Structure 1
């Protein structure tokens, strides 16, 4: 094969370029400290680096999420601490209010201070974070969680979920708690009710009183009390009473005192029955003789049992008519129990006579659970799932009303304080029933405040547990991040000793190639002639 001089020169130039290119790349690897300049330098290593970089990006995001979650949970913890302090003060004031020697003015002063505590609690329960979002509204962070209703009660407007952040590959951590679970789910001691069904005294003056009662044992109350309600308590004499269940069975033996009491006692007679506690009191009228006790108290009877749910209504502020829902009551307990939504219903009027009923919470795409039309005369009744609502006047198209059930099983702590304040504001002058109501309300309020503080403590424990989880995950995140960085370095970074040796070899090879070409390029056929 013939090799021409141009071929020799071209071949050697290509070799020089490859040699210079190899030396340049090696010098760049040494100067930059990065071995893989392009994926072609190490395809397998490049793919592994990409995976590691993606993992590092996730770890960085998780770290940021953990910082955000920590800040939010620390703020919630601080607010809960303040709420607990306020509840402790409310408890102290409630115990003071139970002092029977207090005057109406004294109780009024306590009521005023309780009002300030109530306002403080409302402010704390409506706390916002640094971003202006409400802490206790669940996932509806822009909606104020607790509002004061026109009737003096308080309602929760948030939802029952929470906001969450991904803090690891497999863990979604809640960064807040909803006000429903903390402040609405405290067990209510006032789940029983009583009423006098017979007063045998001809003058009409009531001398025997049975308190509304308090639940003191949830498990016994749920297992036994409910099944036999309503009960009848009959006062047989100044020392004996009898309790009958709803079927007429004598269940007196299940009471702690087995049907005995002391009508002459200055202290109330406590009746503990099936997980509930009632107070039986005798207050003789002026001029009564204790010697005639049996004739004065015999024949009184009371009905007591489970307190029914109350129904509250709210008119939308955007309504253009003057229509109001003036009352709402349970008319069919079976339909109410099985059909009425736990969060309530919303009435939306599509015209002055037609309306749709939606289960709350309602969204724009919700399907109505029922529909109806109104007559021409007002007021009239609208019936929904066992609840009768009286509407006062003709509504306008677009008017909305929400109707919610206030179960007696749980009670908002703000409402507990509100009910106590109402009792303390009532004059007890020459009013035995008012005095007994205050005593019973104080006992109920103390228990409910304790239950509320327990709910706050549960929330604090949950917040603390999540903060501990973040601490553990943060340490793990740092460890994984360090391992990731080390692994990336081992794949990507230049081995200086190897690269330096390689550079010397490449230089030697290039110099040898240059020397050999210099000799070959000087050869000529004419030198051999």
Structure 2
């Protein structure tokens, strides 16, 4: 086989160019020690590097999310500690207000301070983060969580959800807290009521307080199943209790229904998980206490549900829900959403009632048409009275209070209102105040316990966040090490290869130089 001079020339030139290209490429590799620049350099390694780059991006996002969650939790914990400090002051004022030497003026001054604390408490419960998002609105972080109603009570406008961020491959962490769980779920001990049924009108000689729940198990297992109870005074030293079926259950009461009417501050009575206080207020001329006390009758039962409605901020009209009442107890028990509802007006007169929360696929529980003046709407056994006619598109948030729990704002407001009432010289007024103070002190304690649960939850999330952050940092270090092992070059190997390639380049350059000088004329 013969090779022409041109073929020999071209082969030598190609060899020279290939060696030159190798030297240039290896020289670049020697300068930055990067082995894999394109997929052609190492197809398998390049694919693995793409996976590792994706993982590294996720780890960077996890780090950002971790910082956001930690900042949010820290701010929430600081806010809750401030709220707890306020509640401690409220508790001190409640204890001090029970001083027998206090006058109406001193109690009014205490009420004024409570009003300021109430405003501070509302402000703290509506705290925003650095991004302007509410800390305690649940997943509705752009909605103010707590608003004051026209009647002085408070409603929660957020939800029970949580905004969660991914902080690890298998871990999401709640960055927000639900105000419903933090402030609304404090156990309400003041959930029963007594009503005088005889004599009519009230002669003021006998008073039973509404009662405080002292045992949740006793209340749930025994009290609720037998209500309503009837308490009948047999004399000035004895009473009888019968349940809803008429069965005598006096044996479940303290001392089986006997008491000492001269007990200072009233007689404490425990009955099926409920503590009551009985006061016998004899009047001038009552020479026969048994005769004037016997026959006084009271009913004792759980407080009925309280229903409130609040207009949405975006409503076209200024109409408010002025009052509500259950007009059909059976329909209310069967159909009305126990977790709250939303009234939507589809026209100026027609409305629909939805169970809360309302989603895209929610269906109305009930509907109807406004009637009367002022306009009223009746749905699922409940009548809603409006201050004026709502407009089409208006919405109203309806909340049901079963009195099992109580917002700490309502606890403070009720205490303030009790202290604002003048009672100097009134025995009944002083007994009512004592009852209000007992309820406030107990519910403040419940509110602080609920705050403690939330702080514990925040601490637990913070600990889990620290552990996950350590895991992410370890994973990030391993990721960087793996990427380096695939992408980076061995300096010694690169320099050895570069030296070899430079030698080969010099050889091919010399060979090419010699071949380029080959000519027949050089041999003549």
Q: Check the 8 A contact 2:146/2:157 in 1, yes or no.
A: yes
Give yes or no for the alignment of 1:84 onto 2:80: no
Structure-2 change in CA distance of 1:170 and 1:29 (3 Å): same
Matches within 5 A, 1:157-168: 157-168=157-168
Q: TM-score under structure 2 normalisation? A: 0.94
Structure-2 change in CA distance of 1:180 and 1:395 (3 Å): closer
Partner of 1:462: 457
Matches within 5 A, 1:31-430: 31-199=31-199, 205-289=203-287, 292-315=288-311, 325-362=321-358, 366-375=362-371, 377-379=372-374, 381-391=376-386, 395-430=390-425
1:488 to 474, 483, 490: 483
Q: Check the 8 A contact 2:408/2:443 in 1, yes or no.
A: yes
Q: Check the 8 A contact 2:16/2:512 in 1, yes or no.
A: no
Q: Which moved more, 1:92-101 or 1:58-67?
A: 92-101
Post-superposition offset of 1:388: 2.4
Partner of 1:2, secondary structure, is coil
Post-superposition offset of 1:381: 4.9
CA distance in 2, matches of 1:37, 1:379: 78
CA distance in 1, matches of 2:114, 2:36: 72
Partner of 1:39, secondary structure, is coil
Q: Which moved more, 1:52-61 or 1:265-274?
A: 265-274
Post-superposition offset of 1:214: 0.6
Post-superposition offset of 1:527: 7.3
Post-superposition offset of 1:154: 1.0
CA distance in 2, matches of 1:160, 1:353: 32
Q: Deviations over 1:99-154 (max 9, x none)?
A: 23321112111111111111111111011111111111112112111111111111
Q: Any gaps of 5 or more consecutive residues in structure 2?
A: none
Q: Which moved more, 1:351-360 or 1:297-306?
A: 351-360
Q: Check the 8 A contact 1:352/1:395 in 2, yes or no.
A: yes
Q: Check the 8 A contact 2:326/2:382 in 1, yes or no.
A: yes
CA distance in 1, matches of 2:517, 2:120: 102
Structure-2 change in CA distance of 1:496 and 1:284 (3 Å): same
Q: Any gaps of 5 or more consecutive residues in structure 1?
A: none
Q: Which moved more, 1:87-96 or 1:338-347?
A: 338-347
Q: Check the 8 A contact 2:368/2:379 in 1, yes or no.
A: no
Q: Check the 8 A contact 2:368/2:378 in 1, yes or no.
A: no
Give yes or no for the alignment of 1:25 onto 2:25: yes
CA distance in 2, matches of 1:44, 1:12: 33
CA distance in 2, matches of 1:88, 1:438: 20
Q: Check the 8 A contact 2:303/2:403 in 1, yes or no.
A: yes
Q: Check the 8 A contact 1:163/1:174 in 2, yes or no.
A: yes
Partner of 1:447: 442
Post-superposition offset of 1:305: 1.0
* Count of matched residue pairs: 524
Q: Deviations over 1:231-282 (max 9, x none)?
A: 0111111221111011011111111221110112233111111111111111
CA distance in 2, matches of 1:117, 1:76: 19
Give yes or no for the alignment of 1:471 onto 2:469: no
CA distance in 2, matches of 1:505, 1:359: 80
Structure-2 change in CA distance of 1:402 and 1:513 (3 Å): closer
CA distance in 2, matches of 1:177, 1:379: 40
CA distance in 1, matches of 2:469, 2:66: 7
Partner of 2:111, secondary structure, is helix
CA distance in 2, matches of 1:396, 1:173: 41
Q: Check the 8 A contact 1:199/1:206 in 2, yes or no.
A: no
Q: Check the 8 A contact 1:218/1:275 in 2, yes or no.
A: yes
Partner of 1:509: 504
CA distance in 2, matches of 1:303, 1:24: 100
Post-superposition offset of 1:447: 0.8
CA distance in 1, matches of 2:318, 2:499: 95
